[in-house]
Amino acid sequence: MQLQLESPLDMHLHLRQDDMLKIVAPLSAASFAGAVIMPNLLPPVDSAERLANYRRAIDAAVGDLTFEPYMTLFFRDYSEGELLTLREHIIGIKLYPAGVTTNSDAGVAALEAAESTIGRMEDLGIPLLVHGETNDFVMDREEAFLSVYDRLAQRFPRLQITMEHITTRRAVELLERHDNLRATVTLHHLLITLDDLAGGLLNPHLFCKPIAKRPEDRQALLEAALAAHPRLMFGSDSAPHPLSSKECSGCAAGVFTAPIALPMLAELFERHGALDKLQDFVSGNAQRLYGITPPPKVVRLHKEEFHIPAAYGPVVPMNAGGTVTWCLS
């Protein structure tokens, strides 16, 4: 049995820098025609120069493979002049509340103060991508942020807002309330709950932000993904950290899924009789919502047991050592 995907896209990806970038970028480019590249480097990607340098480094790491990096900037106050010159080079600007996740210390401390830049983005048609978590109790952080999305969506009705990596039933419900909200969802949040991370032996390779939630949350995400909900897109949030930063006291947040994402999505969608929805979930919806035309690229998968490697260089993938029923051809 064969499966053919046209220009699959990963709408939320961490490619890192230097040696890590060289290892992980070709793995994404083997599966995807393009990806939205997160800007949470140290220092963050928040100037024309850093953006151009990062884009060049990604292109070099990808080499001859067909892969479009849709670049993002790290949110800060940007003048209209800056936004006018930067906008043709980016797909959007990513807002991190200060301190909520990896490399977000330079994020936004007070959202009210961010509103003048957000207003300029609305006027210039630049999408806002958001890590929607507060500093509340860890299981409640996303739900506590939903009122912020609600307010932003109303106050800036022409602004396209992406709720990144949603993890709760309430977030799926919010999507229905505003036409200018869309969301990404990861592979791991479709598959796991907090139990898989911490219910038995602790599995640091499933530790990420936002943390995996309850079975009813996973169920709501899964139903929306399997139906290719028109405002939901696949975004892996594949976030590699070296083994030494994961298997230690003080484990870094992030799940590495880039090389296994498409085989595992095929397995999941097949199991639920929804393979016909996978194309829209991994490409069609994103193309329509962002108005992008990715490079033509046909990615083929076939039914064959794929053994997930124990590691890719220094990085351990989700389900390392396990098997998947689909394989990249």
Smaller CB separation from ligand NCD, 14 or 169: 14
The site for ligand NCD, by CB under 6 A, has a size of 11
**Does 189 participate in binding ligand NCD (rule CB under 6 A)?**
no
**Does 68 participate in binding Zn ion (rule CB under 5 A)?**
no
Catalytic residue among 46, 217, 237, 280: 237
Residue of 163, 239, 315, 318 that binds ligand NCD (CB under 6 A):
239
Structure tokens at 54: 């990062």
Beta strands in the chain (DSSP E): 2-6, 9-13, 34-37, 68-74, 92-95, 128-130, 161-163, 181-185, 232-234, 298-307, 323-328
**Does 10 participate in binding Zn ion (rule CB under 5 A)?**
no
CB of 254 to Zn ion, least distance (A): 7
CB of 133 to ligand NCD, least distance (A): 8
CB of 94 to ligand NCD, least distance (A): 9
Residue 237 annotated as catalytic: yes
**Does 30 participate in binding ligand NCD (rule CB under 6 A)?**
no
Q: How far apart are CA 177 and CA 128, in angstroms?
A: 18
For the chain, how many residues are written?
329
Smaller CB separation from ligand NCD, 7 or 168: 168
**Does 217 participate in binding Zn ion (rule CB under 5 A)?**
no
| Closest listed residue to residue 9, CA positions, set 287, 240, 326 | 287
CB of 159 to ligand NCD, least distance (A): 21
Structure tokens at 238: 């594949």
Q: How far apart are CA 28 and CA 38, in angstroms?
A: 14
Q: How far apart are CA 255 and CA 22, in angstroms?
A: 18
**Does 142 participate in binding Zn ion (rule CB under 5 A)?**
no
**Does 213 participate in binding ligand NCD (rule CB under 6 A)?**
no
Smaller CB separation from Zn ion, 237 or 280: 237
Site string for ligand NCD, 82-121 (x = CB under 6 A): -------------------xx-------------------
**Does 40 participate in binding ligand NCD (rule CB under 6 A)?**
yes
Sheet holding 323-328, edge to edge: 2-6, 298-307, 323-328
| Closest listed residue to residue 10, CA positions, set 168, 40, 24 | 24
Residue of 34, 92, 235, 254 that binds ligand NCD (CB under 6 A):
254
Kindly identify the residues of this chain, within the stretch 229-268, that bind Zn ion according to CB under 5 A: 237
Structure tokens at 232: 């939901």
Q: How far apart are CA 109 and CA 229, in angstroms?
A: 32
Residues 6+ apart with CB under 8 A from 100: 107, 131, 133, 134, 135, 141, 209
The footprint of Zn ion (CB under 5 A) covers 237
The footprint of ligand NCD (CB under 6 A) covers 14, 40, 101-102, 131, 208-209, 237, 239, 253-254
Catalytic positions, written as ranges: 237
